[in-house]
């Protein structure tokens, strides 16, 4: 029986353990955190609790448009929110731990590092270090936030994502530094919960990997709700001044607020793994290079999730973990296809994309067909009072094969999910035109857009 040792208990590590155990391997999962990892205890789950509260408050605020009477506007109770974060982290972690136990996975608490060949050195918080041998090792250690020396959180007036579950009050004003997915989501959440937000974005802009037209719609919506965006120059330093904080840009301009939130990026957490002991060279910023089956240059060592670099999303981590676990156990599995992973930003409106952007598609395929359809003509969107938004499909102009899709609007990530399957299967636009999802539903959007183009009617 193949012995698979997995380092890390986040989305990638948990999924790899499940996949390897189901494929008949003996599995040992090693992690310094409880089941769920940093994603479940410090980043992903706590942030999504805050975002869900922000979404719900948005619904309450437009209750009259839905024919409802709201007694309150859903005033935020931050202590109740943080209690919910902790309770869900605990319950989700326990559920995952129970699941692993039922599958026969051995879970060890501590940090692990490679020690040459097939050997791991386990440093336990409960005792001396021990050695562990495994046939295959899967690195799923996730990522850690990047904080330059002059932009480090103090956990009080200057915070980052991992401090959200410790908040006791919401500030009246906040400076948020960072235009990536995490920064954008927290800008939305704090603004929707009533905080005056100043958003400092560097020269790379908001959400650089996403379709620019979709990003512009999202940014316009946030600014309409009162977010003040300052873009084009990176932040240089942050200083707490008793009653407020000051963030200074590299050009000397400064901004004051009650609190600051730093979200300028993450890097793979691979520096303490002693990868040199097995001859594996790794770029600490780009992560561990892997093939389609998540194998590194050292064939008995695999890597999955944030440890392999961008994009650092939970669904990518789970997809890679699944492939790594099955392949490490000797089971058949298809190779990883990054073009089928939906990347989403959980704001209001949501923004999501899968496959190639229009720009990348033109670079790769030359001539492309671009179809756009607005939410406004969709019955479900009208019923939800969520008509602001649009979808875009990009296909090869010659054979009509779908190359990518993006959406900005309500439930954008769900809207794109059936198209992700289409990308995996290599569907053509005419294949999509023959599909009719449940009506009324938001998933009708892409299929309706194709039929409208085929009919010669303008695709709005």
Considering the domain boundaries, does residue 51 fall inside one?
A: yes
Are residues 135 and 253 both part of a single domain?
no
Residues 314 and 291: their CA atoms lie apart, in Å, by 19
The whole-number average pLDDT for the span 30-37 is 90
The whole-number average pLDDT for the span 355-383 is 90
Task: Give all strands (DSSP E) within 291-357, no chain letters.
Answer: 301-303, 343-345, 350-355
Are residues 362 and 390 both part of a single domain?
yes
pLDDT (0 to 100) of residue 281: 86
pLDDT (0 to 100) of residue 205: 96
Taking CA 417 as the corner, what is the angle to CA 323 and CA 360, rounded to the nearest 5 degrees?
85
pLDDT (0 to 100) of residue 460: 43
Q: Report which secondary-structure segment, H or E, holds 403.
A: strand 402-409
The whole-number average pLDDT for the span 382-403 is 92
Instruction: With a cut of 60, say whether residue 458 has pLDDT above it.
Output: no
Considering the domain boundaries, does residue 460 fall inside one?
A: no
Are residues 195 and 90 both part of a single domain?
no
Q: What is the pLDDT of residues 156-183, one digit of tens each?
A: 999 999 999 888 899 999 999 999 999 9
Considering the domain boundaries, does residue 424 fall inside one?
A: yes
Q: Could you tell me the CATH number of the domain that includes residue 304?
A: 3.50.50.60
Given 264, 296, 323, which residue is the final one in a domain? 264
pLDDT (0 to 100) of residue 459: 44
Report how many domains make up the chain: 3
Given 285, 317, 338, which residue is the final one in a domain? 338
Average pLDDT, the chain: 92
Instruction: With a cut of 70, say whether residue 83 has pLDDT above it.
Output: yes
Instruction: With a cut of 90, say whether residue 59 has pLDDT above it.
Output: no
Considering the domain boundaries, does residue 155 fall inside one?
A: yes
Instruction: With a cut of 70, say whether residue 148 has pLDDT above it.
Output: yes
Cβ neighbours, 10 Å, residue 199: 26
* Residue 267, token pair as written in the block: 């890097």
Tell me which residue of 150, 191, 176 sits closest to 61, measured CA to CA: 191
Are residues 412 and 314 both part of a single domain?
no
Domain that holds residue 164: 149-264
Q: Mind giving me the DSSP string for 145-208?
A: E---GGG---SSSEE-GGGGGG--S--SEEEEE--SHHHHHHHHHHHHTT-EEEEEE-TT-SST
Are residues 309 and 371 both part of a single domain?
no
pLDDT bracket for residue 73 (50, 70, 90)? low
Are residues 199 and 306 both part of a single domain?
no
The whole-number average pLDDT for the span 205-230 is 95
Given 338, 366, 398, which residue is the final one in a domain? 338
pLDDT (0 to 100) of residue 114: 93
Considering the domain boundaries, does residue 323 fall inside one?
A: yes
Are residues 231 and 272 both part of a single domain?
no
Tell me which residue of 302, 320, 300, 301 sits closest to 310, measured CA to CA: 320
User: Among all chains, which residue has been given the structure tokens 């560097």?
Assistant: 202
Fill in the DSSP letter of residue 377: G
Q: What is the pLDDT of residues 225-269, one digit of tens each?
A: 999 999 999 999 999 988 899 999 999 999 999 999 999 999 999
Considering the domain boundaries, does residue 325 fall inside one?
A: yes
Q: Could you tell me the CATH number of the domain that includes residue 450?
A: 3.30.390.30
pLDDT bracket for residue 77 (50, 70, 90)? confident
Considering the domain boundaries, does residue 240 fall inside one?
A: yes
219: three-class secondary structure by DSSP? helix
pLDDT (0 to 100) of residue 190: 96
Residues 321 and 310: their CA atoms lie apart, in Å, by 15
- Among the residue ranges 9-18, 31-40, 100-109, 133-142, the one predicted with the least confidence is 31-40
Q: Mind giving me the DSSP string for 8-49?
A: --SHHHHHHHHHHHHTT-EEEEEESS-TTHHHHHTSHHHHHH
Tell me which residue of 324, 346, 340, 270 sits closest to 45, measured CA to CA: 346
């Amino acid at each position: 029986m193949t012995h698979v040792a997995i380092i890390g208990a986040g989305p990638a590590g948990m999924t790899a353990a499940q996949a390897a155990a189901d494929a008949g391997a003996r599995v040992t999962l090693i992690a310094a955190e409880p089941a769920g990892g940093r994603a479940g205890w410090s980043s992903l789950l706590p942030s999504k609790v805050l975002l869900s509260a922000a979404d719900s408050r948005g619904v309450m605020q437009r209750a009259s448009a839905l024919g409802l009477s709201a007694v309150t506007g859903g005033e935020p109770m931050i202590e109740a929110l943080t209690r919910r974060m902790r309770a869900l982290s605990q319950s989700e972690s326990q559920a995952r731990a129970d699941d692993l136990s039922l599958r026969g996975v051995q879970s060890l608490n501590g940090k692990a590092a490679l020690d040459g060949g097939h050997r791991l050195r386990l440093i336990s918080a409960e005792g001396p270090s021990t050695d562990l041998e495994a046939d295959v090792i899967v690195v799923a250690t996730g990522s850690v936030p990047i904080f330059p020396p002059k932009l480090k959180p103090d956990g009080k007036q200057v915070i980052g994502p991992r401090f959200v579950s410790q908040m006791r009050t919401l500030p009246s004003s906040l400076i948020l530094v960072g235009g990536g997915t995490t920064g954008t989501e927290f800008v939305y959440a704090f603004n929707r919960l009533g905080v005056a937000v100043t958003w400092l974005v560097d020269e790379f802009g908001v959400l650089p990997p996403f379709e620019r037209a979709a990003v512009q719609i999202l940014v316009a919506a946030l600014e309409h709700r009162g977010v003040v965006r300052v873009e084009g120059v990176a932040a240089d330093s942050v200083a707490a001044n008793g009653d407020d904080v000051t963030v200074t840009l590299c050009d000397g301009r400064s901004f004051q607020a009650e609190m600051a939130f730093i979200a300028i990026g993450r890097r793979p957490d691979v520096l303490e793994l002693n990868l040199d002991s097995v001859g594996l060279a790794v770029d600490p910023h780009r992560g561990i290079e892997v093939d389609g089956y998540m194998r590194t240059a050292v064939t008995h060592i695999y890597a999955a999730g944030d440890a392999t670099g961008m994009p650092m999303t939970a669904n990518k981590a789970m997809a890679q973990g699944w492939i790594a676990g099955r392949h490490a156990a000797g089971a058949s599995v298809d190779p990883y296809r990054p073009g089928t992973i939906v990347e989403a930003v959980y704001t209001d409106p949501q923004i999501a994309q899968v496959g190639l952007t229009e720009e990348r598609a033109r670079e790769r395929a030359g001539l492309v067909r671009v179809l756009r359809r607005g939410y406004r003509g969709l019955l479900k969107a009208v019923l939800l009072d969520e008509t602001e938004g649009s979808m875009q499909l990009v296909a090869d102009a010659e054979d009509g094969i779908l190359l990518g899709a993006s959406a900005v609007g309500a439930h954008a990530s769900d809207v794109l999910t059936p198209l992700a399957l289409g990308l995996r299967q290599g569907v053509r636009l005419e294949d999509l035109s023959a599909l009719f999802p449940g009506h009324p539903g938001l998933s009708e959007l892409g299929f309706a857009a194709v039929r409208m183009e085929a009919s010669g009617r303008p695709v709005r």
